[in-house]
Amino acid sequence: MHKGETMLKKTVHHCAFALALIAAPAFAAQWEPLPEKAPEPADNPTTAAKVELGKMLYFDPRFSKTGTVSCNSCHNLMEGGDDSRPVSFGVFGKKGGRNAPTVWNAAFHSVQFWDGRAPSLEEQAKGPVVNPVEMGMPTLEDAMKRVRQIPAYREYFVKAFGEDNPMTVDNAAKAVAAFERTLITPNSPYDRYVKGDKSAMTEQQVRGMNTFAQVGCTACHSGPAFNGPKLPEGKGFFQKFPVFDNELIKKYGLDEDLGRYEVTKKESDKHMFRVPTLRNVADTAPYFHNGAVPTLEEAVRIMAKSQLNRDLSDAQVADIVAFLNALTGEYPKIEMPRLPATPGTTLVTE
């Protein structure tokens, strides 16, 4: 097949996809509540001991190069699970290249990161530790050495994984992942509505839900987490962004990131991104992979124009935004853990 023919086929595919989105009727949507429990892999069942340990590791900054950056630094559980910045700051004040996605309900993604480079929460937990811009440790084993230098951590690893060599990188990642699988936010107004409580959503929110489906948003943002269909873990749901070029894309630089291509180097993966959840989206501004869009209203207009080639009216935007606010669920109470100390010494020398 010639290169020109390949590009023509891709163009036809994307145009057909966009036309299908435009034609999607409201009745095509299947409205599903968020499950009360997140799925878990067979090789890492969630236990109270793992969750307790994972929570401590999640909040502990001592495993970063400077001792200043923890998981919670960029994914703040006291708020929307992000850090409210366009991009995050890591060790030595370095800035990341992408907006920090929320960790709330991340357990419902089939792959992790914007580009889907981690097939599971366990693998995702390892990535930031050795990222030179984020936590900056030379290797995962270097980070684990710091954990082992804190004597009181051993009892928590033993409780979670038994006596036989419990303090490993893989077990630390399993503990963090187990904790993250408890970070779900069910019982939003939307959840109560689709379960039968027709007073849970306002008239405008219901109107926005129908508009959301009618204009085609549910073609990508479907399922209980509004992040696409349920797929086997490791097989991600990706979509091209943007599909249609326009002045808003240029204004916010939304076409500068090549997305999944940066991982695979496949031409077909250029500008492909994992579809993010819309759960609690009202709490996670700024928006998109570069965090360049400050408001939810603007984000809705951009998605309609760039993915569906539609110009929404002010009333349609207001209704969809009202509906998206109805996706804010109940955050579980998170108590800050007491981290094991290192009496009389420090692990951090930078």
Catalytic site residues? Answer: 134
Residues in the chain: 350
Chain centroid offset of residue 50 CA: 22
DSSP letters for 152-166: THHHHHHHHH-SSS-
- On whether the CB atoms of residues 224 and 39 are closer than 8 A, the answer is no
Contacts of 173 by beta carbon, 8 Å cutoff, 6+ apart: 122, 123, 125, 126
Give the relative orientation of helices 140-148 and 169-180 as an angle to the nearest 10 degrees: 90
CA distances from 90 to 107, 133, 237, 287 (A): 24, 5, 28, 20
Tokens of 190: 């939307």
Tokens of 337: 């853990």
Could you list the beta-strand ranges (E) of the chain.
Answer: 238-240, 272-274
Residue 285: other Cβ atoms inside 10 A: 18
Map tokens 């409780």 to a residue: 159
- On whether the CB atoms of residues 175 and 53 are closer than 8 A, the answer is yes
Map tokens 């019982």 to a residue: 187
- On whether the CB atoms of residues 296 and 326 are closer than 8 A, the answer is no
